[in-house]
Chain A
Amino acid sequence: MTNPYREQPDRAFWSRSIPDKFKSRDLYDGNFPLIRRDDRIASAGSCFAANVIAPLEAAGFHYERTELFPYPLSTLPENLGYGKFSARYGNIYTARQFRQLLERADGGFVPQENLWIIDGKYIDPFRPGLRYPALAWDEFQELQAAHLRAVKAAFTNASLTIFTLGLTEAWISAADGAVFPTCPGTVGGLFDPERHRFVNFSVQDVVNDLTQAFWTIRGWNPQARIIVTVSPVPLVATATKQHVVSATIRSKSVLRAAADEVASLDFVEYFPAYEIITGPQASHDFFQADRREVSDAGIAAVMDALLAHCETTQQPTQLSASGSSTLSRADISRSISNAECDEVMLEW
């Protein structure tokens, strides 16, 4: 008797591929190479989008950054990972948040609730944790405009964007649906039940938002490719009535289903970081003791699988322009200032 399963490879059968023969890298069987040697890579999203940066750069790939600060400003501490990504947008938890960021960068969407003034500081509601906020209205406008220019430049310049889906739960403005990165009143701002509403995005919502976002990027760069992943990290908390475990599974299921649909676009690939960490085959030690944070072993397993499907590079990462030459510029400025202080004292 024949049937379609007879034509399937071993990887399609649990007993033939799990547990002894399992390799994380085997989960991906899409287009090779996933990342090309000469790709300029941008990333956005939640944790995985930040976790990939260091290993990719160490492997010699170019990570695009458009909002760098020179030394010594680059040494100042910053909150919540704003300085990690291609531009200083920080973590982006939902597809709607990403879509709106790109629309704002394109000049197509201006949120009505675009500013919080708290204790004399002008806070960006879409980057509420920024450590160095504006101190005046005109400064705020210029900083925000410059940031959005940098966002557009990052995704225009990048030949490849890695986007990690994190959440479906979000808080939006009742006025125009603008999505805040976190509930107002948590990281920053003040919660107002009249102005702020809870949403829990559906599969269709996420598909629509991702599709829109990715086509915006393609509009800026017609050759751009996208890798989409789903973060395995559970919710910190849920605003629904469900247990946080149930809310997490609902959320991740929606995101995983949506990612599957969006990956049907010919410039989008899905990478199974989520399955590597959370699948039944995954090692228990891929999560830390809190069963929420991904362990170093888990991150290593994901990166091993990812890099196995990338072109190798010739050179380790070169220092960016903000590396040694900027250190020398500030050093020269300082040495001139100090030398003149010495000279003027000597002459006296």
Chain B
Amino acid sequence: MAFVPEFVISGAVEPTTLIVGHSHIIAYAGAGEHLSAEKSRRRYGVVYSRNPELWTSLSEPYWSFVLAQPSPEICLCWNGNQHNANFLLETDPRITLCGSVGGSQFNNDRDSKRTVVSYSMIDELWASDFLRLRQVLAKLSERKRVFLVGTPPPKPRSEIASRLESDEFFAQKVRLFDGDSIEDRVSPDDFRIRLWLRMQQTLQKIASEAGSPFIAVPDACYEPNFLLRAEMSVPDASHANELFAIEMLKAIDQVDRKIT
């Protein structure tokens, strides 16, 4: 029987920079090829597991495999679904975040029917996930140069609803809850945007504490209201496509030039 390695590197031969992490790494597959040799000195390879059970829960063998590669750099995509994982659908009771913690551009939702939760409560909910990130980042940073990258912005409610409508398995489950339409049952854009901005703030803080550069999602990737640009979306509720990844890779080069 032929040997099938558990982990695969897809992309450039002898990559200088490995794209590693959770499912959002897929957007980067092939993105590196679009950056011509003149524009980027980097050659990218995406590291993923052949074992579907590991796609949402990365384990020690994965990180050990990454560290064992000769590539001197790592581009780490961590999770990226925290804003969707529990809050894609409206909760009961309905909740909202208020204040400028996630960004000063919001008008505060004064809908008195929504329970206001604090950002520090959301931080607590995400604490164990970000603790794991800190541990992984520390481990990778011992031997590699690590860029921690921002994650794709949220998608409009209408797009998410459209995706749910097209999948009868989920549509049936979503229709069990109160609401006039599927879209009515999806959480408001403003709420998921606040969550996403808080995620990016936290990623930046973690990177800074670890001495790693943080690659923020550039303006080119989102609308003025922080929703992911339509042309950068894949037809699902959370992921971005290659166009998003290209902008992120350009941003790595820009940040790196400023540092060095």
Residues of A within 8 A of B (CB): 67-73, 76, 121, 131-143, 146-147, 149-150, 321-322, 325-326, 328-330, 332-346, 348
Contact = CB atoms under 8 A, between A and B. Distances in A.
Interface in B69-93: 81, 84-93
Contacts of A137: 99
Contacts of A322: 92-93
Given A69-B95, A135-B118, A140-B99, A344 B170 contact: no
Q: Which 10 A-B pairs have the closest CB atoms?
A: A139-B99, A70-B91, A142-B98, A341-B23, A333-B88, A146-B116, A132-B121, A132-B120, A138-B99, A337-B81
Given A133-B118, A342-B52, 20 more contacts: A67-B115, A68-B93, A134-B99, A136-B99, A138-B99, A143-B118, A146-B112, A147-B116, A326-B92, A329-B177, A330-B86, A333-B85, A333-B86, A334-B85, A335-B170, A336-B164, A337-B237, A341-B55, A342-B56, A345-B55
Nearest to B92: A326
A344 B115 contact: no
Residue picked from A131, A329, A338, A348, most chain B C-beta under 10 Å? A329
A119 B164 CA distance: 43
How many B residues touch the partner, as a band?
35 or more
Contacts of A134: 99, 118-120
Contacts of A143: 98-99, 116, 118
Interface in B35-77: 48, 52, 55-56
A345 B98 contact: no
A332 B22 contact: no
Contacts of A68: 93, 115
A60 to B, nearest CB: 22
A225 B85 CA distance: 43
B93 A321 contact: yes
Contacts of A76: 121, 124-125
Contacts, number: 152
B77 to A, nearest CB: 12
B117 A69 contact: yes
Interface secondary structure of B, over-half rule: loop
B208 to A, nearest CB: 16
A139 B118 contact: yes
B98 to A, nearest CB: 4
Contacts of A138: 98-100, 108
A134 B176 CA distance: 34
B238 interface: yes
Contacts of A70: 91-93, 95, 115
B100 A345 contact: no
B26 interface: yes
A56 to B, nearest CB: 22
Contacts of B173: 328, 332
B26 A344 contact: yes
19 contacts: A69-B95, A69-B115, A70-B91, A70-B115, A121-B120, A131-B120, A134-B99, A135-B101, A136-B99, A138-B98, A138-B108, A142-B99, A328-B177, A333-B84, A333-B87, A336-B170, A344-B239, A345-B55, A348-B29
A340 B81 CA distance: 10
Nearest to B114: A146
A92 B45 CA distance: 60
